[in-house]
Chains A and B, each alone.
Chain A
Amino acid sequence: MTLSAENLRVDSAAGHFGPYGGRFVPEALISALEELDLEYHKAIQDPEFNQELSGLQKNYVGRPSPLTEAKRFSEYAKLRVFLKREDLNHTGSHKINNVLGQALLTVRMGKKRVIAETGAGQHGVATATAAALFGLDCVVYMGEEDTQRQALNVARMKLLGAEVIPVTTGTRTLKDAINEAMRDWVTNVETTHYLLGTVAGPHPFPTMVRDFHRVMGVEAREQILNQAGRLPEAIAACVGGGSNAIGIFHPFIDDETVQLHGFEAAGDGVATGRHAATLTGGSPGILHGTRSYVLQDKDGQTLPSHSISAGLDYPGVGPEHAWLKDIKRASYHPITDTEAMDAFSLLSKTEGIIPAIETAHALAGVLKISDQFKPTDIVVVNCSGRGDKDVETAAKWFGLKI
């Protein structure tokens, strides 16, 4: 597919979604954000860019990713579950969709260095992969706590030639990795592109990253029409920053009969305060250059988040999700660590697919809301990543010896 102007939803010029979005950044970054916005809009109207991107999607990533009906899992869910198999992409998750788009833009802007933040390591691995492919220098910032729980991905990034810098400030997770990446960007903005990995951050990131991920929803829509002969009753996806969710939601937004469900990480439970369910337990505020829902105290200080899933362990969320929540076009629900890990196990044993723990939140969500549906109803779940990186965490959770 191409990112032509007519299939993009038009947002206001300054990147707002209702009261959310915008730019809350040091003035030093404004010219880089303007350059990026301009280059992005030029690129998506350029047939050469679109050809190159779709060529990479097909021949490097392996798109289109399959849509698999999960028949045995469906028996437990008591409705028809289809999985959009982003776990089968090169590098193992949906993150590569956005990374290739931004890497092409980096080359077009004449920049030689990319930096990225990563939580679970999937975005870091995808960025390191693209950097290797395009011959760019690559530095990945990762919270020290995450480097420990996702050690395998740290090794992968290093093997791909990237430098991984553990971040030891603040909560030592994704939030602080983004702070460090922003500081690097402010310092090196002339030579460096900040390859932000989610639909948050200052404009144009929420819009641009979403557009690079729309391919998931566009494919899924066509595939479900072919396989089931009709649109699904619902789409389900996990939400941390919200990139896999917005990518699959977006092409269905105008299909009023299709429910959109996002599942956030509730950690030990929202009531315990140890969670990362920003849309459920947070309030409107500013974090990392954008206005959205944020976990914060009465003085606007960001609160630490908690989740077994490093990729969802973030106290903010993309501004478009905040807007979709407020206008009630999408609904967002919390899923605890325990619920997610039960679903992780169930999918593994019923379908032979070990999902990422992030993805397991969406699967648990389907099990949780299934009583709202008839057995013949269809839900498409974004199977956003594979669980190879999580084997150690899962083994520990289930008491297996490695």
Chain B
Amino acid sequence: MNSILEVFKKTKVENRAALIAYLPAGFPNKEKSSEILRLILDNGADMVEVGLPYSDPLMDGPTIQQAVEISLENKTSIDDCFQIVKELSTSKKPVLIMSYYSPIEKYGVSKFVENFALANGAGVITPDLTIEEAGPWILKTTEQEIARVFVVAPSSKAARLTKVASEVTGFVYAASLMGVTGTRAQVSSKAEELVANLRKTTDLPIAVGLGVSTPAQAKTVGAFADGVIVGSAFVKILLENSDFEKAKTLIVELTQQLRAALPR
């Protein structure tokens, strides 16, 4: 958790938004997902989210759904995800897991948080865990000092934002639009308003995700948010390029361009 706050302290001094990248674990396979995330970290990302594959990803659009299906065909397990977290943690940059709550609860909340801490994980993003259902999760992540990232949306009313943000540690994940993950032609106009509303209620860093894929979009979002989250754009490159070396080259280029777009 502290390592996440350190990153935002540093990017604030550098007067830029942090770059946060997402890729499902086990896509295109276990070794390559780890390799790609490492490459992204080495080329300018400030932290990464390892996506824990889930059979019913309600918040994800077709691109990530497809990647997750491949990951599940590869039989990626929760323990595999922890292994990838551990490998990436040697980069000294924060590594998070993004997971729907079904796998976490089935694995066991205590066991999940403990094994994640053992893998040197920094935080967990839970896109479908509401704070009303999060009692055991909040206790355990507090005990193990794991950052607890909840996702808020443009439809969240002021009172709700305050309530959710008060349970967050690390950073608040602001969904830029009403909808699922995936690339979009334009940044939603609702993103800036949501960040402004959050600023009224929390001093935590705020990262914006959903529909941010190009350097131009990253620049727009980075002007008002503390962090920019990019996922589907990386997944798309891997889906569209069967030549892995070529895909790697394109991912390095995209990472560097995104990073270059962030200084204000």
Which of the residues B53, B101, B150, B178 comes within 8 Å of A186, measured between beta carbons? B178
List A residues 96-130 near B (Cβ within 8 Å). none
Please name all residues of chain A whose beta carbon is closer than 8 Å to the beta carbon of B101 when the two chains form the complex: 24, 286
Residue B155, interface by CB 8 Å? yes
Residue A298, interface by CB 8 Å? yes
Q: How many residues of B contact A (CB 8 A)?
A: 40
List A residues 142-182 near B (Cβ within 8 Å). 169-170, 175, 179, 182
Q: Given the interface contacts A187-B179, A301-B54, does A296 sit within 8 Å of B106 by beta carbon? A: yes
Residue B55, interface by CB 8 Å? yes
Stretch in B5-13, B126-134, B214-222 with 4+ CB within 8 Å of A: B126-134
Expressed in whole angstroms, the Cα–Cα distance for A81 and B151 within the complex equals 52
Residue B44, interface by CB 8 Å? no
Give the contact-size bracket for chain A. 35 or more
Expressed in whole angstroms, the Cα–Cα distance for A291 and B101 within the complex equals 10
Expressed in whole angstroms, the Cα–Cα distance for A24 and B104 within the complex equals 12
Q: Tally of A-B residue pairs with Cβ under 8 A?
A: 116
Q: Given the interface contacts A23-B133, A27-B156, does A300 sit within 8 Å of B104 by beta carbon? A: yes
Stretch in A28-36, A207-215, A249-257 with 4+ CB within 8 Å of B: A28-36
Give B99-135 as 1s and 0s: 1 = Cβ < 8 Å from A's Cβ atoms. 0011111110000000000000000000111101100
Residue A380, interface by CB 8 Å? no
Expressed in whole angstroms, the Cα–Cα distance for A86 and B59 within the complex equals 36
List A residues 283-303 near B (Cβ within 8 Å). 285-289, 291, 294, 296, 298-302
Which of the residues B65, B107, B154, B160 comes within 8 Å of A299, measured between beta carbons? B107
Q: Which of B61, B69, B132 has the most CB of A within 10 A?
A: B132
Expressed in whole angstroms, the Cα–Cα distance for A366 and B157 within the complex equals 50
Expressed in whole angstroms, the Cα–Cα distance for A287 and B128 within the complex equals 11
Apart from A22-B130, A301-B102, 13 more pairs, CB < 8 Å:
A24-B102, A24-B130, A26-B128, A26-B153, A31-B156, A170-B55, A175-B56, A183-B58, A183-B61, A183-B179, A190-B178, A301-B55, A302-B56
A interface residues, Cβ below 8 angstroms from B: 14, 22-32, 169-170, 175, 179, 182-183, 186-190, 285-289, 291, 294, 296, 298-302
